[in-house]
Structure 1
């Protein structure tokens, strides 16, 4: 999916000269009294957050709000000398994120930066969520809502802005939503747009203790179905693009006159090789769902059927490698004892 970037390609090169902290101004020779004087009604500056100044009288842009929120929440303000060094043409600003130690944009604002079209535009957001370590002494104020975490995750960078990864940003956004439709739209776009896999979303929702909320339950069920459909499409692609023989798709196996052995996503009866998509969520991996997977696999392998488990993530990130695993299993069938006879039925 193609998205128009929500911010200019290099916003911070000029925004940093318009939004400064008290410490940065002091480094430029501007005292606190001077700053207060310039922020009087009708003056050229304004204080938009505690200790953060906007060096023009108009409303802040989306970029300026983000920069101000990060400066307010950052552990250490930018060194004063950094703000008056001009950006050289062609510079990539490799140290652009240094002023924002221990602070990441998360929640709806982060989703906008990641390219989500179902998230509200930046300027329409009443608050900007900023993720900080739990022990930081900060409070939510103005347009900034402080979100605390035991350990700050590694940031992603979008146009120089440090943001939380999509699964964490989703969890922080969902935590503030009561509308089930809005939750569903965000989760669906995350998977359908290729931003992340359902399992990583469910892991973050579980960590945030959000899975029990009514507006989240149905959305997660739809998310799992969406993720499975995408994984099945990728499995079809893997077989056809990597020259594997056509299997029987979506089948149930039974012993003649005996019990049901389980459903499979793909089955090669001549080689007695099966593929099963492992779409369990992290929460399910340790409970009865895993026991069911393990029992089915052990039973089938006792009957001489090789079962290859493939996760949606591996299909997405390493399709060629997974095709090699399946091809190896098919080729090895000649060296194995014949499998037990089973009845194959449509699932």
Structure 2
């Protein structure tokens, strides 16, 4: 018998993405003992979960791990958490090989290997995402966020969910109120903070540095207009007293090829309007906060030493 049975069409018809149950293999004439022997080191197959194997001697892909988790749940599982968030297109998701699945509260399933089984009385309606039964975006994102204990990853995940248009703050807040309260304290605090319209994790950290510099309270993301009423820009933080703008310019979000020209045009408008501009990389907010605070103070003094330009703001949010 050919040990590399993945090439056998009879097996391909009974597996998905190379993942198959040992009970299915047994019906096809391959006893469980033989299947598990082929999953030993050097063998042609890979053990994934109890009773579930991969018909290849390779590291399982994310899709193969998900398929194994769904087989483990026997059709009752709903993908949620980080893997679901990635399938919805989010990028700012903590790295994890876990497959987090929701099942009905009366289920007796356990959490083997890389699979996390969460029993819930609030099983949401399923959405099919690339053939995978998946929890709705707000539920999936918050199920992941509830498992994080650090501020920045939670804030990054929720900010991207909002800015991508996948979820509104209102939808996330409603889901948080109606769902499990376990691990909800940090996501709840982040959502409250997001209501102030902070646009990024670096910007949130920047607010603390601004305050440590002893500057007047900043305005977050105001729309600036020149004396002719034309729109100029929307800085991350703004000191209206002296017309000082601070931009947290990350390489990823501001210096991608498609955005580079827009950033240069923005800076030209700042200069033409007489606005003093400070630009800071997010990495320096964490590595050199004292130096950044000193730069802000110096820029503030320079701005205060010249006549304030005729710049107005709209839709301000002072903190």
Superposition deviation, residue 179 in structure 1: 0.8
What are the within-5 Å matches in structure 2 for residues 113-124 of structure 1?
113-120=87-94, 124=95
Q: Does the 8 Å contact 2:90/2:160 carry over to 1?
A: yes
- Matched residue, 1:133: 104
Q: Work out the number of aligned pairs and report it.
A: 189
- Matched residue, 2:70: 70
Q: 1:102 aligns with which of 76, 80, 100?
A: 76
- Matched residue, 2:22: 22
Superposition deviation, residue 150 in structure 1: 0.9
Structure 1: how far apart are the matches of 2:83 and 2:176?
18
**SS of match in other structure, 1:216:** helix
The CA deviation string for residues 26-56 of structure 1, in whole angstroms up to 9 with x for no partner, is: 2322222221232233211122101111111
Q: Alpha carbons of 1:14 and 1:178: their partners in 2 closer, same or farther (altered >3 Å)? A: farther
The CA deviation string for residues 122-154 of structure 1, in whole angstroms up to 9 with x for no partner, is: xx4131111111111111121111111114222
Superposition deviation, residue 221 in structure 1: 1.5
Structure 2: how far apart are the matches of 1:211 and 1:136?
22
Superposition deviation, residue 212 in structure 1: 6.1
When the two chains are superposed, the root-mean-square deviation of aligned CA atoms in Å is 2.7
**SS of match in other structure, 1:173:** helix
Q: Alpha carbons of 1:203 and 1:72: their partners in 2 closer, same or farther (altered >3 Å)? A: same
- Matched residue, 1:232: none
Q: 1:209 aligns with which of 167, 172, 181?
A: 181
Superposition deviation, residue 19 in structure 1: 0.5
Structure 2: how far apart are the matches of 1:63 and 1:17?
8
Structure 2: how far apart are the matches of 1:166 and 1:212?
17
Q: Alpha carbons of 1:23 and 1:193: their partners in 2 closer, same or farther (altered >3 Å)? A: same
The yes-or-no answer on 1:186 pairing with 2:160 is: no
Q: Alpha carbons of 1:198 and 1:14: their partners in 2 closer, same or farther (altered >3 Å)? A: farther
- Matched residue, 1:200: 171
Structure 2: how far apart are the matches of 1:115 and 1:65?
18
- Matched residue, 2:135: 164
Q: Does the 8 Å contact 1:48/1:54 carry over to 2?
A: yes
Q: Does the 8 Å contact 1:16/1:67 carry over to 2?
A: yes
- More displaced stretch, 204-213 vs 160-169: 204-213
Q: Does the 8 Å contact 2:142/2:187 carry over to 1?
A: no
**SS of match in other structure, 1:131:** strand
What are the within-5 Å matches in structure 2 for residues 1-347 of structure 1?
16-74=16-74, 101-120=75-94, 124-206=95-177, 207-209=179-181, 213=185, 215-226=186-197
Q: Alpha carbons of 1:34 and 1:13: their partners in 2 closer, same or farther (altered >3 Å)? A: closer
Superposition deviation, residue 211 in structure 1: 8.1
Structure 1: how far apart are the matches of 2:140 and 2:78?
10
Structure 1: how far apart are the matches of 2:15 and 2:176?
34
Q: Alpha carbons of 1:168 and 1:217: their partners in 2 closer, same or farther (altered >3 Å)? A: closer
Structure 1: how far apart are the matches of 2:117 and 2:125?
17
Give the TM-score normalised by the residue count of structure 2. 0.54
Structure 2: how far apart are the matches of 1:223 and 1:186?
12
Structure 2: how far apart are the matches of 1:14 and 1:63?
17
Give the TM-score normalised by the residue count of structure 1. 0.50
Structure 1: how far apart are the matches of 2:62 and 2:17?
15
Superposition deviation, residue 107 in structure 1: 0.4
**SS of match in other structure, 2:195:** helix
Moved over 3 A (4+): 12-15
Q: Does the 8 Å contact 2:83/2:100 carry over to 1?
A: yes
Structure 1: how far apart are the matches of 2:33 and 2:169?
53
